[in-house]
Amino acid sequence: MAETNVLENAASIAVKSLEKIQAPMKAKEAEAKAKSDADNQKAEQAKREKESKIASEAEARAKEDSRILAEPDDKLGEPEKKRKAELLEIKRKEEETPEGKIKRVKEETQRRIDEIKSEMLAKENQREQKLAALEAELAELKKPKQVEDIKAKVKREQAEQIAKYVEEDKSKPKEERREMSKDDLDSWYLEDPVEATKWIQRTEYRSCF
């Protein structure tokens, strides 16, 4: 029993001695780790600041390049003219690459799509306006007391318009005229019945709208 106690005391003393020896080393390690962490934080902060600065400079340069490209040459100084020439050369080389050609085709395709959309929208607006005008005219025609007066007015306006077109177009080739006199039409029919018939059909089609 006595031997066991002696061994335990000796082990305890050895552990305490080891802890005393290791304490300064652990303190130095903790200090070194704290310093390393602080250095890493500073390095990371410096890296973020550098990246932010580079991004800001790049954005400012891009804005300046856009301004230079948009300005006429007579409003640019010599350094700006030189930079503009460099930018145009870079753009030309980019457009010559497969990627640049694909990008250009996509841009042209999108531009044409936008143009077609705009044209279709304009035609749709015109169609709606024409439909609204026809509906308004129909509403007027449905009024019992004014039906005959409106019919006479429409007929008179149509006759006036035809007479106007006949006069305005009499110097034009027959196939380009909007209207023509009966004598001119009969004469043309004898000369070229096919073209005269086509013109009559176009005129009849146009009068439906």
User: Could you tell me if 6 and 86 lie in one domain?
Assistant: yes
End-to-end CA distance of the chain: 124
User: Could you tell me if 170 and 188 lie in one domain?
Assistant: yes
User: Could you tell me if 112 and 175 lie in one domain?
Assistant: no
- From first to last of its 209 residues, the chain has per-residue pLDDT tens of 555 565 566 667 766 666 777 677 777 777 777 777 887 888 888 888 888 888 888 788 888 878 877 888 787 788 888 888 888 888 777 777 777 678 777 888 888 888 888 887 887 788 788 878 888 887 776 766 555 567 777 888 888 888 888 888 888 888 888 888 888 888 888 888 888 888 888 877 555 44
User: Could you tell me if 111 and 23 lie in one domain?
Assistant: no
Range of the domain at 76: 1-96
User: Could you tell me if 137 and 157 lie in one domain?
Assistant: no
Structure letter (DSSP) for residue 62: H
Q: For 67-125, what is the HEC assignment?
A: HHHHCCHHHCCHHHHHHHHHHHHHHHHHHHCHHHHHHHHHHHHHHHHHHHHHHHHHHHH
**E-only strand ranges, the chain:** none
Give the pLDDT score at 189.
85
User: Could you tell me if 1 and 78 lie in one domain?
Assistant: yes
Task: Please state the pTM of the whole predicted model.
Answer: 0.29
What letters, b where the CB count within 10 A reaches 16 and e where it falls short, cover 116-152? eeeeeeeeeeeeeeeeeeeeeeeeeeeeeeeeeeeee
User: Could you tell me if 134 and 60 lie in one domain?
Assistant: no
Give the pLDDT score at 5.
62
